[in-house]
Structure formats: C-alpha cells, structure tokens
A and B are shown apart, each in its own frame.
Chain A
Amino acid sequence: MTLDTGSGRAGLADTAATRTIVTGDRTGRHRHVGDRGEQRIAWTFLAPFLAAFLLFLVWPLLHGLYLSFTDQSLTGAGGSFIGIANYVEALGDPVMWQSLGNTAWFTVLSTVPLVVIALVMALLVQRGLPGQWLWRLSFFMPYLLASTVISQIWVWIFNPQIGAANGILEAFGLEPIAWLQNPDTNMLAIVVATVWWTIGFNFLLYLAALQNIPETQYEAASIDGAGEWRKLFSITIPQLGQVTVLIVILQVLASLKLFDQAYQMLGGIASETTRSIVQYIYESGFVGYRFGYSAAISYVFFAVIVLIGVVQALATRRRKEHS
C-alpha cells in the first residue's frame, strides 16, 4: 500500500507499477494492443462489472441530469421538458440554501473533533500500553453499528426526562435541556452522536499511518538525547501531515453526505436546523413526489462536491510545488 496522497491528481493517482506498464505499452503498442485474443479476454473479464457500472451508475447519472430539466413526478405524471426552471427554482429556494448551510455547518462541527480526537486516540494506543484489543474494540466498535441502532442509543441518551446527557448536566447543577427538540441544540446532539459513531475509522487510519513511521528515526532521536515531547513534535506530527490532509478530505466528503442519523434521531421530522441537503433531496423526491426538482437539487449537491474536489486538488498541487 502506497500513500501517494500528495500526487495532486485527486483519485487519479496511479502507482509507479501502473505507470511502468503504460509506458511499456507505448513502445510495444502493436504487439500488445493488436492482440485480438487478449482483447477478447479483457472484455470478457470486464463485462460483468461494466454492465453493472453502466446500468446502475452511468445511466442513472445521465438520466438524472435529464430528469432535472423536466417536471417528472414520482406518480408518473409530468415529464415534459421545462429547461432550467428547476435550477432557477432551486437557487431561489430558501430551504435548499438552508439545507446546504446545515450540511456545511455539520461538516465543520464534526470534522474537527473527528480528526483531532482520532489522532489523540491513535497516539495513545500506539504507545503499546496493555489492553490493545480493548482500546481498539472500544473506539472502533460503534463504527460497526447500523445508523438505526446508534440513533436509538443517542435518542435515549438525549431524552429530556431520563437521558444520561441531562443526568450529567444535573450533576453539575445545570438546567436540563430538550436536546433534540430544541433547535439550538439538536445539531450539536447529532454531531456528538456522529463523532462517537464514526471516529473508529479515522482512528484506525491514524494508527496505520503511525505504524508506517520507521522505527530507526525514533532510535536515532533517542541517541541524540531527544525526549518524548521532542520526538512527538519533531518526528511524529510532521510525518502525519499528508495523512491528515487525506483524513480531512475523506471526512469532509463523508460529513457532507449527512442523512441517516439526522433523519432518524429526529424521528423523521424535518427540522429547520438539522435538515441536510441529502434529506432535502429525499423529501422533495419521495415525500413531495417532485422527481425533476429533486434531481436538480441532487446536481447542485454534486456540483458542490466536485467543486470541493477541485479546490482540494489545486491546494494539494500548490503544496507540492512549494515543497
């Protein structure tokens, strides 16, 4: 496994091995590409995946774009071409902007703790203290639970009358809060549940990265008389830079897709402060039956993701050029 995160070609980074094959192909092109037997075998190998890829990814992607220019309804009615009317409506729709804003706010609130706490966990576990399997199980187990399960656990914890969250507040002499019912706190409650639920993934990524730092560097530093903190700040933290960039990107992309836990923790009720963009896609398509409009919002959301991808790719490239 190579960590070529700084390659700058987000997602298009090929391994050195691939590049060799491709260049090798250029010189021996006629021999390789002209081989009919090999061509036929290659397409046979590709056929099942390609069929699924075209049917369930490429076609929906194109058809969704088409639908976004129509007034298609889930009930089968409509379907006539209405140009960019859906997009005009979406860009003037306060609920769409609110959902995008909620999604962005959730992404900011969740990404910071999901990266920082995961790093602290990994640094502590990496010290090799006794109880390794228990630490890993504790931090990673919630990641294995279905969203329905974690939502119910946290609805229970945030219960205004008997929940543990208010129990803690009371222990400090504070007033109880209706966490999920109060628009000022419901997003925070969803963030807390999400951090608990998904931190294990980032924790394991950091742990793997820490294990990739060569032992010899620490030994050399020890010989030079460096202490624990010095080693942490001059060896460990600098070497985690690239991994951190990658984890932040993965986390931002994951947080932007917020739906399950926000929808479930509020019992399916649309709250102005927690409705995410994916929830608005769902609501306009499957509750409001407006497939065309829902498809248009999907594409606005997709455009946001692509935009973030491009900004990130440019930023990585600039970083690489600087170094």
Chain B
Amino acid sequence: MSAATASSTATRAVVAPGVAPDPRGRKPGQHRFSAINVIAFIALALMAIGWLLPFLWAVATAFKTETDAASGAGGWVGESGPTTEAFTSILSQGNVWIWAGNSLWTSVVITLLTVAISAVAAYAFSRLEFRGKKLLYGAVIASIVIPPQVLIIPLFYEMLAFNLVDTPWGLILPQVVAPAMVFILKKFFDQVPIELEDAARVDGAGRFRVFWSIVLPLSRPILGAVAIFVFIGAWNNFLWPFLIINDTTLMTLPVGLQTVISAYGVQYAQVMAQAVLASVPLIIVFLVFQKQIVRGVATTGFGGQ
C-alpha cells in the first residue's frame, strides 16, 4: 500500500511532464486588471456564450409544450411556461430507457475489453523480447491510419458469417481493436523505470505478477485517460451500431434517437428532450473527470502521432 502511494507522485511526473494540471495562477502578474485582460475576458465571455447558447436553447425547448416549440412563440420559456411534458412522454414510451441501458452496458464492455487487451499487448511490446516484435509492432502502428469506415463492408460480411448481425456482440467486438491505444500505452510503459520491475523479479515475481502488481498501479492515470476516451467514443459511435443493429430493443441511444427522429421529426420538444437526456451522462462524466479528460486529450491526441 505505502509503496503505491509513494510511487504515485513519480507517475504523475512521468504521465504528464509539462501538462500542468491547472493553468490558474500560471503567469505571475497576469491576473492584474489591465485593458488587455478586460478585452480578453469579454472576448472569452462572448465565445463561451456562443458555444453554450445552442445547447441551452435545446434545453429550453425540451421544457416547452409541443405547440410553443413548433411556433417559437414566447421566447425562451414559451407562452404556456415551462413543462416537463416532453420528458414524461418520451420516458413513458420505454425505449429510451432500453437504449440508454444498451449504450451503457455495451460501452462499458467495449471500454473494459479494449483497455485490458491493449494494456497487456502494449506491455509485451514495451518490455518483452520475442521473434518478429519489430515487424508486428510496425504493423500495429501502421494500422492506426486505417479509417474504420473503410472496413464497414467486409466487417458486416464477416458478422453475417459469424451470425452476429443484430446481436450485442456483433456491435461490441469490432470496436475493441484500438491500435492507437496500444501505441499510447507502450509509450507510457517505456517510461516506467525498469528498476522497479527488476527489483520485484529478483524477489521471484513472475512477469504477470510484475505487470499486475507493479506496472498496472503505476499506470492508473494513463489507463484512466485511455478508458475515458474509449468510453466516449463507444457511447457516441453512430455508423457501426447503425449498420449492425436492426432490432429496436438492441439499439444504442444515438441510433435509437435517429430512428425516432426520422419517425416523429416534427415533435421538437420531444426530440430536444431526448437530446438532453442522452447528453446528461457524458456531461456528468466531464464534470467529474475534467482533469483526466483534459490530460487524456493531450495524451491520446499527441500520442496518436
């Protein structure tokens, strides 16, 4: 236990050298009240309003009656005042709950599988010697440039052959291959001091034990960053779930919403209520994991190069 705590500061330095967790109070003297800071603040505020307004307008519309939403009368609140009608009617239809459940469990499974198989593979590429390593790693890295959209036809064909079309596993399995994540994790493992592992190995610990009880605890921040990213990607993925799932009860939230919108596109308040409901989980994720996400973008964005 104490070993893990002691090492956590060292890891932070390894994970994000230079990515300061908090930019506040960075440049001394910049908080002072100056003309340039006032202009900067106004510019920032205007941009933030511009970026928040579309979403706030969607939230406002979700709390209107269908009549007010369709006429646009009454501005932000509508003539009849705010109501939760739209929410109650979509939630009573039942499908939204099923889709949210499907999105949640498939995204969690995709995240766990992706992180697990990428981490062990990355560790092998980083620390172990085996024949063909350079060639294999080169192939994995090269495959980062393949856009998943290019593979939809043969993948669908393969799922037909495996009888996985219109099943949750047909949705999940093709999404667990993430060569970019293997690359990012290998880069991280390369920076973990090998002395820590050597000491444990001298004590007789096997490779897997070293990986499990020394490397993994040290890698928690980067594993978290990778996991959050895989989760966001899986939660929001549209094209593959849209192609592979046809059964309404197996749809994920983005695909389910799209079918409802195509069917009842004119019920604006309900459409917006669904949009708001679908966004709430990820906004909570962002508020809770803001620091990890900010670091995750830097790591996955730059690491993907």
A residues with CB within 8 A of B: 1-5, 10-13, 15, 17-18, 21-22, 25, 32-33, 35, 38-39, 41-43, 45-46, 48-50, 52-53, 55-61, 63-64, 67, 72, 74, 120-121, 124-142, 144-149, 152-154, 156-157, 161-162, 164, 196, 199, 201, 204-205, 207-208, 211-212, 215, 218, 228, 246, 249-250, 253, 256-257, 259-260, 264, 267-268, 278, 281-282, 285-286, 291, 294-295, 298-299, 301-302, 305-306, 309
The CA of A154 and the CA of B53, in the complex, are separated in Å by 11
Q: In the bound complex, do residue B57 and residue A164 qualify as a contact, i.e. CB atoms below 8 Å apart?
A: yes
Query: Which residue of chain A is the closest to B22 with respect to CB atoms?
Result: A132
Other A-B pairs, 7, CB within 8 Å; known A207-B23, A208-B295: A3-B302, A63-B154, A74-B156, A132-B23, A138-B51, A153-B58, A285-B156
Main secondary structure of the interface of B (DSSP, over half): helix
Q: In the bound complex, do residue A207 and residue B294 qualify as a contact, i.e. CB atoms below 8 Å apart?
A: yes
A219 to chain B, nearest CB (A): 8
Q: In the bound complex, do residue A127 and residue B30 qualify as a contact, i.e. CB atoms below 8 Å apart?
A: yes
**A264 and B258 contact, Cβ closer than 8 Å, known pairs A127-B27, A145-B236:** yes
Q: In the bound complex, do residue A149 and residue B279 qualify as a contact, i.e. CB atoms below 8 Å apart?
A: yes
B200 sits at the interface (CB 8 A): no
**A144 and B238 contact, Cβ closer than 8 Å, known pairs A56-B155, A128-B23, A136-B294:** no
Other-chain residue from A33, A135, A164, A196 in contact with B48 (beta carbon distance below 8 A): A135
**A38 and B61 contact, Cβ closer than 8 Å, known pairs A18-B190, A211-B23:** no
Q: Give chain A residues whose Cβ lies under 8 Å from the Cβ of B131.
A: 33, 39
Query: Which residue of chain B is the closest to A52 with respect to CB atoms?
Result: B177
Query: Which of B176, B261, B297 has the most chain A CB atoms inside 10 A of its CB?
Result: B297
**A53 and B305 contact, Cβ closer than 8 Å, known pairs A1-B15, A126-B23, A299-B150:** no
**A128 and B31 contact, Cβ closer than 8 Å, known pairs A42-B128, A53-B140, A145-B236:** yes
Contact with A along B107-136 (1 / 0, CB 8 A): 000000000111011011110111101101
The CA of A306 and the CA of B287, in the complex, are separated in Å by 38
**A157 and B54 contact, Cβ closer than 8 Å, known pairs A144-B286, A146-B254, A211-B26:** yes
* Tally of chain B residues near chain A (CB < 8 A): 120
A–B pairs, 10, beta carbons within 8 Å: A17-B191, A42-B128, A45-B124, A60-B155, A138-B51, A140-B286, A148-B255, A208-B294, A246-B305, A282-B152
Q: Give chain A residues whose Cβ lies under 8 Å from the Cβ of B138.
A: 12
Q: Give chain A residues whose Cβ lies under 8 Å from the Cβ of B116.
A: 48
The CA of A322 and the CA of B187, in the complex, are separated in Å by 28
The CA of A228 and the CA of B235, in the complex, are separated in Å by 43
Other-chain residue from A43, A52, A63, A306 in contact with B176 (beta carbon distance below 8 A): A52
- In the A-B complex, list the 3 residue pairs whose CB atoms are closest, starting with the nearest: A162-B72, A49-B121, A208-B298
Q: In the bound complex, do residue A1 and residue B303 qualify as a contact, i.e. CB atoms below 8 Å apart?
A: yes
How many A-B contacts if CB must be within 8 Å? 346
Kindly specify which of B2-10, B36-44, B79-87, B88-96 makes contact with the partner chain.
B36-44
Q: In the bound complex, do residue A301 and residue B31 qualify as a contact, i.e. CB atoms below 8 Å apart?
A: no
A37 to chain B, nearest CB (A): 9
B230 sits at the interface (CB 8 A): no
Main secondary structure of the interface of A (DSSP, over half): helix
Query: Which residue of chain B is the closest to A76 with respect to CB atoms?
Result: B160
Other-chain residue from A45, A298, A306 in contact with B153 (beta carbon distance below 8 A): A298
Q: Give chain A residues whose Cβ lies under 8 Å from the Cβ of B232.
A: 144
The CA of A50 and the CA of B144, in the complex, are separated in Å by 14
Q: In the bound complex, do residue B54 and residue A196 qualify as a contact, i.e. CB atoms below 8 Å apart?
A: yes
Q: Give chain A residues whose Cβ lies under 8 Å from the Cβ of B238.
A: 146-148, 260, 264
Q: In the bound complex, do residue B48 and residue A144 qualify as a contact, i.e. CB atoms below 8 Å apart?
A: no
